[in-house]
Every structure is written in C-alpha cells, then in structure tokens.
Amino acid sequence: MIQHIVILMSDTGGGHRASAEAIQEALSMKYGEALQVELVDVFKAYTPYPFNRFPAWYPTIIARGSRLWGPGFRVSDGARRMRALVGAVYPYTRSAFRKMLRDHPADLYVSVHPLLTMPAVRALGRSRPPVITVVTDLVSAHAFWFYPKVDRIIVPTEGACQRALRFKVPLDKLKVIGLPVSQKFSAPAGDKLALRAQLGWQPEAVAVLVVGGGEGMGPLFEIARGIAATANGWHPLQLAVVAGRNEALRARLSAVQWEIPAHIYGFAANMPDLMRAADLFVTKAGPSSVIEAINAGLPIVLSGALPGQEEGNVRFVVENGAGLWAPGPEKVASAVRQLIGGGPEALAQAAANARRLARPTAAMEIAEEIARYLPVKA
C-alpha cells in the first residue's frame, strides 16, 4: 500500500525549499513508489494576508530590514514567548491550516519551517498522524523550531541539539543527523581540470566562486569587483559570479571590463559543478549554501549573515577552520587574499577542515528516520 508524506515548507528563503526537496529526493531514492511525497508551500497557498505574501516579500525584508532581524529574533526567542506569539496568531490562521490538512491528508507530516509546526500540530488535533520537524538552521536555531509535542525533531549539529535542550525538548525526541542537501552536492569530486575545460574556465588559475543566493541578494557586484581589483597583478585568479534570478545584476556584471578572467552566470542549475570546479566559495551564511560547500570540500568566505539566526553558522565555519568571516566587500577581498596568499597549503587545509564537517548522507539518513515513524498498515 502506498503511504503519503506531506512536507510543510515555504519559500521564505531558499533553504526551506532546498531542504524539503532534498528530503523528497532521498525518500524517492530510498523507497521508490512505496511512498508518495508532496511539498506544500503553506504560507503562499493557504494562509490569509499578510502571511500569504511572506514568500514574495522575503527578499525585500532581508534587503531592507536586516537591522531589525536581530532584535526581532532575540525578543521572540524563548519557549514561552514562542507559545504566546503562535497562540495569539493561531485563531486567525486556524481555518487555513485545517483546510490545508483536509486538502493534503497524510500518513505522516514533515515540517521544515519553524512557523508551521505548532499550528499544524494544533490543527491536526489529538488523534493525529506522526509529525516530524527537520531543523534547517545549523546552530542558532530559533525557539519556534522546538515545539516539543511533535514526535521527532531532527537537528543538523550538536549546537542545535543543545539549543533544543535549553528549550526543554526531551532528549529522546532529538536526533543529530545533519542538514539535508541534494545528492548532487554530495557526488564525488571527479576531475577538476576536465570540469573546468567543460565550463570554459582557466585550467590553473585559482577559481573564486561568488554567489548571492537564488535572488542575487547582497552587495554581490561590489564584492566581485573588490576581489578582481585586489587580485589584479598579484596572483593568477579567476572569478565565477552567480547573479541568480537578478537579471539586472547579471547585465551589470556582464558589462564590466574585468581585470581578471570572469565567468558570469544567471540562475545556475549546474551549481554542484561550479562548486567542484572552484577553489574558494564566497557566500552569505545561509545554512544550505554553507553545507553544500562543506560537502564539496570547498573553503568558505562568509560575506554576511542574518543577525541572530545565522550567527551560529558563522561560528560553525570559522571555529572549525573551514573559512573566514568577512562582512562587506572590502573584508571579503582581504579574506580572499589571506586564504590564497597562504599558498596551496592554506586552501588545502581549509578544504580538509570542510570535508571533516561534511555529512553527505544526511538526507538519506533523514529519509530512513522518517520512514521509521510511518504507521504500519495491514
């Protein structure tokens, strides 16, 4: 008998969808047609205004309101505060969650978004199927993630596990597995020179891959220009810059007369190949980007982080020797010089440190853990 799993997510940041799709992929690879796995963007498809606009507003909120993110994170980050806030909003969204659950009945629900878990559990009522939370923030996960009435909470790191314990989650409900990322980011590295030839990159020059997420967010133009300017005449260097869906940024980057070889991309479906061809990765401290790079054994320069929420990601990378924290274009250029100027040994050591942190089988292990909670059917 086919069993049905629904993954609750929302496109408020690329990480939630990426994690949901990685879990869906792993469940399909592991169990095939025995499971039907469905993704539901709850905010967009069901919740009333203004919640249904959160996915569309998210890039603007991050771009313009990042200074308020930290205070908001800290003020709301507590078990009692979490329950009070969700409890205050839940009457307004109750009917939306109940409709979502009627439209998408399941043998098991998986939540990969902190704001969806508690309302979904409440809407399901007492005689409910299992609910599993998969936490997609690496370390400094908000209290909203840790609703203890679910059946299982899967966390990516020991740091996230310790936060869960601080919020009174019973230890027997927690399991540290890792952050789920697509299998394509965990494939063997292969021949880097052959891959560079396919991409049209220089075979020997150090390759710095610069990304700003799917929306091309942050001062990506200034970061790329700063790296190119500081590298000119100093070290054989090439840039690969991914502008994502930001076509205006892509056009602006493409119009530059670059001092060094530069490869400009829009939304890159071949990101795993770009990572395997690169020597150094410059990115914002989003959890999926960090773990994808770590699984690829790629040293990281972190160019920015959301206050509160992503600060733990910075510590995770820096304290484990997998990269450097360099907020802002000038510091990014300096960090790139520092890592490359240390010679091949410095990059090799940072790459080895990244590989030591890697959990390339996390998605498959999460799939196995989810399957353990499926009800047995005659």
pLDDT tens digit sequence for 264-305? 999 888 999 999 999 999 999 999 999 999 999 999 999 999
| Rounded Cα–Cα distance for residues 5 and 331 (Å) | 45
CATH number of the domain where residue 298 is located: 3.40.50.2000
Residue 378 is assigned to a structural domain of this protein: no
97 and 160 co-located in one domain? yes
The pair phi, psi for residue 369, each rounded to 5°, is -65, -40
Q: Is the pLDDT of residue 4 over 70?
A: yes
One domain, residues 18 and 120: yes
How far is Cα of residue 368 from the mean position of the Cα atoms in its chain?
Answer: 21
Residue 67 inside a domain? The answer is yes
Same domain? 243 vs 353: yes
User: How far, in Å, CA of 373 to CA of 368, rounded?
Assistant: 9
Q: Same domain for 24 and 149?
A: yes
300 within some domain:
yes
Strand order in the sheet with 300-304: 262-265, 237-242, 206-211, 280-284, 300-304, 323-325
pLDDT digits (tens, 9 = 90+) for 344-371: 888 999 999 999 999 999 999 999 999 9
Q: List pLDDT tens digits, range 147-168.
A: 999 999 999 999 999 999 999 9
115 and 77 part of one domain:
yes
173 and 245: one domain?
Answer: no
Q: Are residues 230 and 308 in the same domain?
A: yes
Is the residue at 143 inside a domain? yes
Confidence grade of residue 215 (pLDDT, cut at 50, 70, 90): low
Say yes or no: 207 and 139 in one domain.
no
Which tens digit of pLDDT belongs to each residue from 75-88?
888 888 888 888 88
Does 60 map to a domain?
A: yes
Distance CA 14, CA 288 (A): 8
| pLDDT score recorded for residue 364 | 97
Do 301 and 176 fall within a single domain? no
Whether 206 and 346 map to the same domain: the answer is: yes
Model pLDDT, residue 171:
96
Q: Is 157 within a domain? A: yes
Q: Do 179 and 64 belong to one domain?
A: yes
Is 265 domain-assigned?
yes
Q: What is the pLDDT of residue 377?
A: 64
Q: What pLDDT does 66 receive?
A: 66
Co-location of 150 and 201 in the same domain: no
Q: Is residue 126 part of a domain?
A: yes
Structural domain for 45, as ranges: 3-183+360-372
Q: What total number of domains does the chain contain? A: 2
The answer to whether 279 and 336 are in contact (CB under 8 A) is: no
**Position 62 confidence tier, pLDDT thresholds 50, 70, 90:** low
Amino acid 233: pLDDT: 66
Of 54, 200, 190, 167, give the one whose Cα is nearest residue 115.
54
